[in-house]
């Protein structure tokens, strides 16, 4: 490890911008060289994916160390495994593979370089740790969010029905057993129905609304053999 570090320092002494004079022979492209051989000839990598390359050097040389800018390069015998890891999400990034090669006699040090393009997809958002649960969906199209306003026509057109899901991550659909509608101004007055559709009496009450009105939906549903009773408050306004 100490020897590889010393070799790396020697190579860095020749990097552009160094106070020492650049030796043109030390910077050699990895492709089309008899001293080093790398297959397959891939130029574009997918981010976070592992790639295996067959790598070989001429008998008078040996590989001292690999350096890969954005990710990991692991060398085992004649196999080189590269795993790019870029944070340039939703774009194309670049990364250079550098291979430090020394002659067997130790009299010559070379730095072979190959640049890769890395395709980096958009960042994936993490799974919600505290998902919303027992979600109501009207006609299996419109989520009914608590305390949000909705036009009354979406409740009165055709024969509206209510679907319910366990949470906003797994979205397992529950079996709705019955629905009850309660108007805020008519405390204690409920308009129940069996099954997942609103009763005709509930539709009649909604049609009579002339101004924004808070209403409660009570849904009885089954999750497997477990019964759930869920209340949701929304505001219905004339359209």
Closest among 117, 113, 126 to 86, alpha carbons compared: 117
Question: What mean pLDDT value characterizes the chain?
Answer: 84
Quote the CA–CA distance of 180 and 194 in Å, as a whole number: 9
**Per-residue confidence (pLDDT) for residue 123, from 0 to 100:** 76
Q: Is 90 left (phi over 0), alpha (psi -120 to 50) or beta?
A: left
What is the reported pLDDT for 125? Answer: 63
Q: What are the DSSP E strand ranges found in 85-161?
A: 91-103, 109-120, 133-138, 142-143, 149-151
pLDDT value at position 4? 46
pLDDT (0 to 100) of residue 68: 92
Q: What is the C-alpha to C-alpha distance for residues 25 and 14, in angstroms, rounded to an integer?
A: 10
| C-alpha to C-alpha distance for 180 and 137, rounded to whole angstroms | 15
Secondary structure element (H or E) that encloses residue 61, with its range: strand 61-68
The residues facing 149 across adjacent strands are: 235
> In which band, very low, low, confident or very high, does the pLDDT at 6 lie, cut at 50, 70 and 90?
very low
Where do the H-state alpha helices sit in 13-85? none
pLDDT at position 235, please?
94
- Residue 14, pLDDT > 80, answer no
Query: Within 10 Å of residue 27's Cβ, how many Cβ atoms?
Result: 16
The fold of 133-237 is: Immunoglobulin-like (2.60.40)
Domain boundaries, the chain: 2-120, 133-237
The helix/strand/coil state of 224 is coil
Average pLDDT over residues 196-218: 91
**25 vs 145, higher pLDDT:** 145
pLDDT of 167 higher than 60: yes
Best CA proximity match to 111, nearest among 124, 126, 95, 98 = 98
Q: Which of 137, 60, 67 is nearest to 100 (CA)?
A: 67
Q: What is the pLDDT of residue 2?
A: 45
Structure tokens at 229: 């009773």
User: Pick the residue with more confidence: 9 or 171?
Assistant: 171
- pLDDT for the residue numbered 1: 47
Report pLDDT for 24: 47
CATH topology identical between 2-120 and 133-237: yes
What is the per-residue pLDDT for 184?
67
Please tell me the predicted confidence (pLDDT) of residue 148.
93
Q: Grade residue 236 by pLDDT with cuts at 50, 70 and 90.
A: very high
Q: How confident is the model at residue 127 (pLDDT cuts 50, 70, 90)?
A: low
CA distance 204 to 209: 9
pLDDT digits (tens, 9 = 90+) for 43-88: 999 999 999 999 999 888 898 888 898 999 888 888 999 999 998 9
pLDDT of residue 51: 94
Mean pLDDT in residue range 186-198: 82
pLDDT-derived band at 9, boundaries 50, 70, 90: very low
Q: Find the radius of gyration of the CA atoms of the chain.
A: 33
Annotation: CATH topology of 2-120: Immunoglobulin-like (2.60.40)
Residue found by looking up tokens 């079996």 in the block:
175
CA distances from 230 to 29, 102, 180, 222 (A): 67, 72, 10, 11
pLDDT of 166 above 50: yes
């Amino acid at each position: 490890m100490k020897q590889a570090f010393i070799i790396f320092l020697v190579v860095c002494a020749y990097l552009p911008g160094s106070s020492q004079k650049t030796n043109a022979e030390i910077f050699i492209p990895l492709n089309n060289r008899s001293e080093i051989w790398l297959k397959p000839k891939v130029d574009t990598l997918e981010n976070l994916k592992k790639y295996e390359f067959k790598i070989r050097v001429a008998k008078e040389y040996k590989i001292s160390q690999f350096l890969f800018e954005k990710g990991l390069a692991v060398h085992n015998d004649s196999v080189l495994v590269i795993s790019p890891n870029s944070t340039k999400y939703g774009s194309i990034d670049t990364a250079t593979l550098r291979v430090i090669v020394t002659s067997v006699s130790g009299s010559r040090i070379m730095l072979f370089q190959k640049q890769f393009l890395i395709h980096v997809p958009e960042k994936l958002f993490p799974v919600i740790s505290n998902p919303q649960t027992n979600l109501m969906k009207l006609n299996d199209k419109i989520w009914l969010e608590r305390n949000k306003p909705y036009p009354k026509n979406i409740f009165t057109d055709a024969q509206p029905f209510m679907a319910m899901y366990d949470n906003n991550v797994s979205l397992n659909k529950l079996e709705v057993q019955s629905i009850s509608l309660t108007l805020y101004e008519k405390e204690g007055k409920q308009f129940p129905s069996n099954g997942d559709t609103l009763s005709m009496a509930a539709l009649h009450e909604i049609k009579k609304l002339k101004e924004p009105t808070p209403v409660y939906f009570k849904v009885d549903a089954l999750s497997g053999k477990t019964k759930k009773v869920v209340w949701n408050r929304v505001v219905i306004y004339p359209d």
